[in-house]
Amino acid sequence: MKKSIFAAGIALATMIGASANAATIKMSTFSMDAFNTATAGGTIENFEGYAGSWDPNTVTNVGTFSSYDASTGSGSVCNAQSGGNCQSLYVNDTVLSGQGNLVPLDGTKALSSNDTNGIFWDVFNNGGSTFDKVVFAVRDAADINGTIFTIKTNDGTSVELTGRANNNQQLVVIDLGGSFTDATVSMFNNQVNDGFTIDGASTVSTVPVPAAGLLFISGLGMLGALRKRKQKTA
């Protein structure tokens, strides 16, 4: 009987920790109401507490952010906001060429790709808590002819944007298909000098204990009760 209880416990732990589904990425026009709904109960980084050139070693409450690759831009945005230092990300604090703050509505800052190819987000929560959804807002992506803007997760799931208007605003909701303590999200262009900003970078945990897991918990209780009953009648 002890072996049966132990085996059931192992099965339960395996089911709760496993991810059987691939990630899905949904993009829609940004609105504050939709953002608030998607991030309810989550952890949000709005970049309001940072300024200037971005240090890729900075650990925020939702992980770290760094330049997607070693590309160097030379566009008007990076020259205006960072004085021509177009090799690293930058905390945008004013609207430039359609880029800038989205979260919160009365905020002033967002994280800029700074005319490099893009942003790499190593996603994790301080304290190591799990999450199953990643949410963020993107502003002014793919508004130059020929630019293909891609969002890609660590399991290879991706979506693309191209031919968008200046100052377009997108809400990105990524369902990871299970609960994780870490993930990666890459946001990148096929060319430099088409900068974009991200804001409201969030992790959300929405997955309760699976129904099958509840059945296992119930089963553990039944096995324990049967064991006690057997001992009494022996």
Question: Poorest-confidence range of 33-42, 79-88, 139-148, 152-161?
Answer: 79-88
Asked, for residue 178, whether it belongs to a domain, the answer is yes
Asked, for residue 130, whether it belongs to a domain, the answer is yes
pLDDT at 52 over 50: yes
CB 8 within 8 A of CB 223: yes
Q: Provide the pLDDT for residue 70.
A: 82
Q: Provide the pLDDT for residue 85.
A: 87
Rounded Cα distance between 181 and 166, Å, is: 35
User: How many domains does the chain fold into?
Assistant: 1
- 193: closest CA among 159, 147, 137? 147
Asked, for residue 5, whether it belongs to a domain, the answer is no
Looking at residue 156, its amino acid is G
- What domain range includes position 108? 21-207
pLDDT at 218 over 70: no
Asked, for residue 131, whether it belongs to a domain, the answer is yes
Given pLDDT bands bounded at 50, 70 and 90, which one contains residue 209? Answer: very low
Q: Look up the CATH number of the domain holding residue 41.
A: 2.60.120
Asked, for residue 227, whether it belongs to a domain, the answer is no
Asked, for residue 3, whether it belongs to a domain, the answer is no
Rounded Cα distance between 5 and 228, Å, is: 13
Q: 181 Cβ partners below 8 Å, 6+ apart?
A: 124, 125, 128, 129, 130, 131
- Name the percent of the chain lying above pLDDT 70: 79
Per-residue pLDDT reduced to its tens digit, 85-130: 899 999 999 999 999 999 999 999 999 999 999 999 999 999 999 9
Question: Rounded to two decimals, what is the model's pTM?
Answer: 0.82
Asked, for residue 230, whether it belongs to a domain, the answer is no
Asked, for residue 7, whether it belongs to a domain, the answer is no
Helices (H), the chain: 2-17, 32-38, 76-82, 211-233
Q: Provide the pLDDT for residue 12.
A: 35
